[in-house]
Structure 1
């Protein structure tokens, strides 16, 4: 501020000089007329010269500004005409009112003024820019090139004749997209491969062909890896590692992992089929993340029964295969190891809580009663968490209430949450999904969790268990618990009611020893028989009333068979035990000649549509139900759908069936 003041003081304006000269000339004229007249003449000359100089300067500035405006207009026009990106100006109806040469070259057309932009680029829409008065972006594909299209509204014309136009800039990003795609395609995917039940498969073949099986298996895998241009390495007799690019993984997905079928078709007289379990990790932040995903994917594949590939991408898993049943393991080494570990955990725990899944069935409650007896044999007083009974276990619960031993065995969810601590032992049976358990809160409170389950593993599972006994080959959780009883302690004994509970669970999940029944299933049944289980008492647990039989008859009567293979029907409304009746109806539909799978839908009192799915083993109904958020086994599965009608649910099932039949 001081500098400006000083400048004005030392360099006053011209008008001030002239005023001073005028005053001085008057003063001199007062004392000397001749000299004053001379000074006044000088004053007049200075005024004339100042005015002449000022007008000259004004003309020069005017000409300079005018020339500058002409230069700017010319430069602007040149810049727009020679803009290095395509540019066009559109009316609001899409007609082209102006364009530069780059745009003309882009669409490879001449004389396009007045024509609609969508005649040349049909996938371009102006709807967004018409609705919003701001700059917008979109993407367009044209002539095998990709463009970022930028819209901008401009106003032209005078106030009385305002006109709005759309400026459209076309930025070619084809090379960037190619580079991005190449980067994505060349990302690394890690695959961990394991031969399912390798030792059991070799033992099922003759001694002289076993080397041929191993050699052919390795040749097939090496050839497959070579076709994928991958790095392939054998880690042990039945484990391999394969590193491929994400692009080759896409090809594998398009091929739906046909290698699974090729390996299954290898036949050298082996009575047990060869199959692969593959876990693939991809799109992790680091290679270490991909390896972690691959390990998790392989665990998922093995937990779901093997013979499948699981692609793990951070929070998403995709499944391929899973068409064959899990091979029953002959060795009981794992059961013995789990039994000893479980014994130590029970002995070291003060509080023990046992729970199955919501709406428990005989397999769930039977396994819980079996674990309860194991704990009491080790001088522990556990609690079984169950919120309420239901039609499938009412008859059994009536028997339990009459037994003094189980007087204080059951507690509600609220009581369990109140008394459970981080040191309490929580044993989960017949499920591995947290949200399916009777009391999910206990899994967050306790730091000691044991899971015993036989269902095919889903994406959601209890991942903080200190002991996991998960065998998909087992017929039921009750079979697994029966085996554990043998290895807990020599003195371990269970009462007659517990033996019948375990046997009823096996009978339920095997449909009276018809489905998924192996050698170890009959061994478990014989053990329970020795412990006092009465088969007649077990059969009474499955008795139903006349209304249920009539309802099952209605299900069979109304069944519709698709392609002579798959039956679909609906459970009658407003009947008691609708879920149980639907499950039994689905079982009965499999007795129809030619039917390989059945789906029975129904609606409970909570307006939730439930689906019972059954199969003879050739069709994996677990895959169907998994897509609807449910799960189960290859031959027994189910799902529940919320906020949907029976008719809409039938349509969804039919679409899934048709999709499956197209792939077969």
Structure 2
């Protein structure tokens, strides 16, 4: 420091002195007395300059030292008296090595905070975000009753031997802002649509006096229910209501599991038919009232497509479902079937060619319904193609029977072939599913613009939105039943092949468990029409027969079943099992008197694992499996996992069953 300061204060002095010495030497050459005099003067100048330079250097040194001392003191004073809580900690150990007085008062530990781990002072606090180069904690931090945003930066220790990184943390109190934000969220409006979805059945065959009494009771219950929310309530039309209330009230309704759904069942007509309510709610912090109203209408449509008697909440993040445990009531009319048949006929006529497909790992219902649509397309003079993966299916025997017919010589194609054949005017008919993620040919679904959907499963949060026709009837027993009804308005009995009629009947038999579950009057009418055409019930029954190995495996699975909860059995197989065999095993299990529902978790022969669930309606297996990404109907549901081991899926399923039982018990 001294040498640098000397150089700064003596610019060019050595050069000047060298020139003076040179002049003295020249003068000595010409005159010794004059040269001696110049030498004395030069020496005096040197002494004087050195003396003055030393004084200036000392003065400058004292000034710099004083300035540095003042700056250091100012820095220390700033850190100690910084108005925000502040601390310094070691990142390698998490130990607090310093904190200012404000932080000490906040922690209420005084000097005892030193050498304590940060998590001892702030439970759960993680410093990973600092190491990732972020200067702000990604979430709010609670400290006592206060909330903070924590900012931080890295500091390298002065001593290289220490080898540790330090972090300086600044704590900004946002409690007031957080409370204001929470009040804002809780006060945001939500829009609800209420619909008595059993209105037609409830008011059928009763007199006007009873109708008035039932209407008054429904209006009273709904009005009292909404009154608790502090919202507004208006009747729009017969059996339909609009309500607006705050998000805080919605949170209470969700915590209450929408008890109004069960309360509404207490309203019955003289024939014992209960009133059922569907609720559609739109919510969103940044949504306008118009958007919330649209969400509410989408929610009510979703609730109805899932069978009604439930609440659906729609937000920008997706759908949430509550309720939906009651059995569906058959509500379909022949008028609607005729209208849908005419619309489908016109759509087929306006298309260049028609592709039909079901869900991945197709079953008898998917192939049967697809065969029915193929027959309709053939009758209307268009070219039909049935797209399926013949290597991964549980309906191989049915596919082989259909493929043997001359009419099907070029009908069955793969997804790759379909992608080559389709054009801008092609039509795609999806049967037995409405979920885009489980169709047999997802790329084809993304490519073709005209899409029709025929499905009977309860709609999931993910569904095919872009449709020209959507015949979604959760009250029907099967997709084959729906297609059979449509065929009666499109073709004559002679246009349907015997193998196609048997395929449709096999689909109905499969999903109704031989006409024991989810079987309505329309189901028997469809089966009777197919039988009249020539469907042989013996041949249909043979489609369900398996080989000896399959029988042995089925009963081996049954023998390993365990009761995981009262009335609920679970079969687990780490060894690969054919999906049809696993489904047959759980079908057998629910025939046991003390089994209300049965589930099988098994490794698949094609890779991954799957879950199959069955019941007779007392337990909603679709509601259970929907929690782990599956779907289906109340009595028959499934789920697929491509990258999860069997044991992990068993844990997920067990947790979902426990949650379902807890929800239903609370009701």
- Normalising by structure 1, we get a TM-score of 0.84
Instruction: Please point out which of 566, 569, 584 is paired with 2:568.
Output: 566
Aligned to 1:83: 82
Residue correspondences, number: 650
CA displacement at 1:242 relative to structure 2: 2.3
CA distance in 1, matches of 2:162, 2:478: 83
Residues 427-446 of structure 1 mapped to structure 2, 5 A cutoff: 427-446=429-448
CA distance in 2, matches of 1:134, 1:543: 63
CA distance in 1, matches of 2:449, 2:321: 31
Aligned to 1:181: 182
Please state if 1:477 is matched with 2:476: no
Aligned to 2:272: 271
Instruction: Please point out which of 414, 432, 436 is paired with 1:412.
Output: 414
Residues 430-509 of structure 1 mapped to structure 2, 5 A cutoff: 430-488=432-490, 493-509=495-511
Greater shift, 454-463 or 72-81, is seen at: 72-81
Instruction: Check whether the contact 1:151–1:167 (CA below 8 A) recurs between aligned residues.
Output: yes
Instruction: Check whether the contact 1:628–1:641 (CA below 8 A) recurs between aligned residues.
Output: no
- Normalising by structure 2, we get a TM-score of 0.84
Aligned to 2:223: 222
CA distance in 1, matches of 2:383, 2:128: 68
Aligned to 2:247: 246
The CA RMSD measured in Å over matched residues stands at: 4.2
CA distance in 2, matches of 1:153, 1:549: 67
Residues 91-102 of structure 1 mapped to structure 2, 5 A cutoff: 99-102=99-102
Q: What secondary structure is seen at the aligned counterpart in 1 of 2:461?
A: coil
Please state if 1:386 is matched with 2:375: no
Q: Give the unaligned 5+ runs of structure 2.
A: 1-11, 14-41
CA distance in 1, matches of 2:638, 2:159: 71
Q: What secondary structure is seen at the aligned counterpart in 1 of 2:504?
A: helix
Instruction: Please point out which of 419, 424, 431 is paired with 2:426.
Output: 424
Greater shift, 510-519 or 161-170, is seen at: 161-170
Aligned to 2:297: 295
Render the CA deviation track for 1:585-632: whole Å, top value 9, x for unaligned. 211111111211111233222232222211111111002221222211
Aligned to 2:142: 141
Aligned to 1:592: 592
C-alpha distance 121-494 of structure 1, shift in aligned 2 (>3 A): same
Instruction: Check whether the contact 1:555–1:572 (CA below 8 A) recurs between aligned residues.
Output: no
CA displacement at 1:285 relative to structure 2: 3.9
CA distance in 2, matches of 1:156, 1:568: 60
Instruction: Check whether the contact 2:122–2:143 (CA below 8 A) recurs between aligned residues.
Output: no
Instruction: Check whether the contact 1:389–1:397 (CA below 8 A) recurs between aligned residues.
Output: no
CA distance in 2, matches of 1:312, 1:279: 8
CA distance in 2, matches of 1:537, 1:497: 9
Aligned to 1:606: 606
Instruction: Check whether the contact 1:231–1:242 (CA below 8 A) recurs between aligned residues.
Output: yes
Q: What secondary structure is seen at the aligned counterpart in 1 of 2:123?
A: coil
Render the CA deviation track for 1:39-90: whole Å, top value 9, x for unaligned. xxxx999999999998888787666656655554554444334321223455
CA distance in 2, matches of 1:654, 1:612: 13
Residues 109-258 of structure 1 mapped to structure 2, 5 A cutoff: 109-110=109-110, 112=112, 114=114, 116=116, 121-123=121-123, 128=128, 137=137, 140-152=141-153, 154=155, 167-203=168-204, 207-258=208-259
Aligned to 1:9: none
CA distance in 1, matches of 2:487, 2:376: 7
Instruction: Check whether the contact 1:129–1:151 (CA below 8 A) recurs between aligned residues.
Output: no
Render the CA deviation track for 1:244-287: whole Å, top value 9, x for unaligned. 33332222222222222222232343533322222222226432
CA displacement at 1:637 relative to structure 2: 0.6
CA displacement at 1:338 relative to structure 2: 0.7
CA displacement at 1:137 relative to structure 2: 4.3
CA displacement at 1:205 relative to structure 2: 5.1
Q: What secondary structure is seen at the aligned counterpart in 2 of 1:293?
A: helix
Greater shift, 229-238 or 610-619, is seen at: 229-238
Render the CA deviation track for 1:154-182: whole Å, top value 9, x for unaligned. 56778899998664433222122222222
CA distance in 2, matches of 1:97, 1:410: 74
CA distance in 2, matches of 1:275, 1:320: 14
CA displacement at 1:647 relative to structure 2: 3.9
CA displacement at 1:296 relative to structure 2: 2.6
CA displacement at 1:388 relative to structure 2: 1.2
CA displacement at 1:559 relative to structure 2: 2.0
CA distance in 2, matches of 1:155, 1:422: 64
CA displacement at 1:96 relative to structure 2: 6.1
C-alpha distance 500-189 of structure 1, shift in aligned 2 (>3 A): same
Aligned to 2:545: 543
Q: What secondary structure is seen at the aligned counterpart in 2 of 1:450?
A: strand
CA displacement at 1:643 relative to structure 2: 3.5
Q: What secondary structure is seen at the aligned counterpart in 2 of 1:543?
A: coil
Aligned to 2:28: none
CA distance in 2, matches of 1:220, 1:519: 33
Render the CA deviation track for 1:619-662: whole Å, top value 9, x for unaligned. 11002221222211011111122344444433433333233333
Q: Give the unaligned 5+ runs of structure 1.
A: 1-12, 15-42
Instruction: Please point out which of 506, 524, 528 is paired with 1:526.
Output: 528
Aligned to 1:35: none
